[in-house]
Amino acid sequence: MNGIAVIDKPAGITSYDVVAELKRILGAKKVGHTGTLDPLATGVLPICLNEATKLAQFFSSDSKDYRAVMLLGVRTDTQDTEGAIVSREAPDVKAGEIERALLSLVGRGEQLPPRYSAVKFQGKPLYQWARKGIAVEPLPRVMEIHLLTVEELDLPYVTFTVSCSKGTYIRTICSDVGEILGCGACLAGLRRTRSGAFREEQALPLKGLDKETLAAHIMPMADVLPDIVNVEVDLSLAEKLKAGHQPLVADVLGMNHIPSLAAGDMIKLMTRNRRLVAVAKMIYASDQMSAQDGKERAVKITRVFDDE
């Protein structure tokens, strides 16, 4: 059973707990998640099953959407309400100030990862250094906030939605806003509503999930990565690809339909019955193929799948 299951992660457990539960339900050998959610967070967690674990690298740069609840006036050592309180004060701020502080973070910028995070420093996750009481200075990371909207003000709580690039820490957004306002802040609640092409409405609740329900909602590998063009290959070429063959110009020219592609474009090589065989990168543009020697490599295979 190969494909992607989109799970609605409940609060209070780790992303790895979800992986372990799906392994148990399906008896699958290989299971992995794409994009960690902290125990506090809920929402969209795509899970790769068996051969689909090879697809995880293609989701690593996906943007994400969140709905967050920020608590003003409280600083913690983890930047969320699960950490130890560092300071507490009544926030004396107005609605316009809060909105301006949040909107000032929209755009491309740098963000310091939280001390309690999985970002590595000298080969170890930051949270391991923090738990030992060792202060380290991680390098700032480039991130981008595409869109941020204040949804509700119920001071000291502020609910907002955010669309952002990979690697953006929402609890750090809250902490940064607290410093801008001067009263401190931390994350009180977080729900991921989108991860790349996977959305909240597709997510299955983990509680009570059984094998039959899960199997009925697994997305085939051919249907994920919708932004990558599909190219059909015959069964003979499919078997060669599985054996390590790198497609030649003659192979590509022999395919039924070659879409208009540029050099460097990614493609999905699939059989007629929609089995994913490989993901590859074009070496030549499709309109340059006929001018090349038939024995020249046409595409570079990056991943091969046994999607049976």
Nearest to 107 by CA among 142, 71, 78: 142
Helices (H) and strands (E) in the chain, counts: 7, 18
Same domain, 70 and 115: yes
Same domain, 115 and 214: no
Same domain, 58 and 80: no
List, by residue number, the catalytic residues: 38
Instruction: Note the pLDDT tens digit of each residue in 150-186.
Output: 999 999 999 999 999 998 999 999 999 999 999 999 9
Judge whether 192 lies within some domain. no
Q: Give the containing element (helix H, strand E) for 248.
A: none
Total structural domains in the chain? 3
Distance CA 247, CA 299 (A): 6
CATH number at residue 260: 2.30.130.10
Distance CA 91, CA 108 (A): 28
What's the pLDDT score for residue 254?
Answer: 77
Instruction: Yes or no: say if 188 and 42 are a contact pair by the CB < 8 Å rule.
Output: no
Same domain, 70 and 121: yes
Same domain, 52 and 72: no
Measured CA distances, 83 to 2, 77, 113, 135, 144 (Å)? 38, 6, 15, 16, 26
Q: What is the pTM of this model?
A: 0.89
Same domain, 235 and 204: no
Judge whether 300 lies within some domain. yes
Instruction: Yes or no: say if 18 and 206 are a contact pair by the CB < 8 Å rule.
Output: yes
Distance CA 5, CA 33 (A): 9
Judge whether 35 lies within some domain. yes
- Whether 21 shows a pLDDT value over 90: the answer reads yes
Distance CA 201, CA 123 (A): 37
Same domain, 54 and 94: no
Q: Which domain holds residue 70?
A: 65-187
Distance CA 173, CA 186 (A): 9
Instruction: Yes or no: say if 195 and 45 are a contact pair by the CB < 8 Å rule.
Output: yes
What's the pLDDT score for residue 117?
Answer: 63
Judge whether 119 lies within some domain. yes
Distance CA 155, CA 224 (A): 41
Instruction: Note the pLDDT tens digit of each residue in 187-239.
Output: 999 999 999 999 999 999 999 999 999 999 999 999 998 889 998 888 999 99
- Whether 255 shows a pLDDT value over 80: the answer reads no
Distance CA 120, CA 127 (A): 9
Same domain, 128 and 39: no
Q: In angstroms, how far apart are the furthest CA atoms of the chain?
A: 73
Distance CA 147, CA 149 (A): 7
Same domain, 23 and 69: no
Distance CA 209, CA 194 (A): 21
Instruction: Note the pLDDT tens digit of each residue in 201-210.
Output: 999 999 999 9
- Whether 79 shows a pLDDT value over 90: the answer reads yes
Instruction: Yes or no: say if 148 and 105 are a contact pair by the CB < 8 Å rule.
Output: yes
Judge whether 125 lies within some domain. yes
Nearest to 56 by CA among 64, 46, 65, 68: 46
Three-state DSSP class for residue 117:
coil
Residues in the chain, overall count: 308
CATH number at residue 124: 3.30.2350.10
Judge whether 55 lies within some domain. yes
Name the average pLDDT for the chain: 90
Same domain, 300 and 264: yes
Nearest to 77 by CA among 87, 62, 64: 87
Same domain, 58 and 74: no
Q: Which two tokens stand for residue 101?
A: 């502080």
Distance CA 248, CA 306 (A): 21
Judge whether 28 lies within some domain. yes
Judge whether 37 lies within some domain. yes
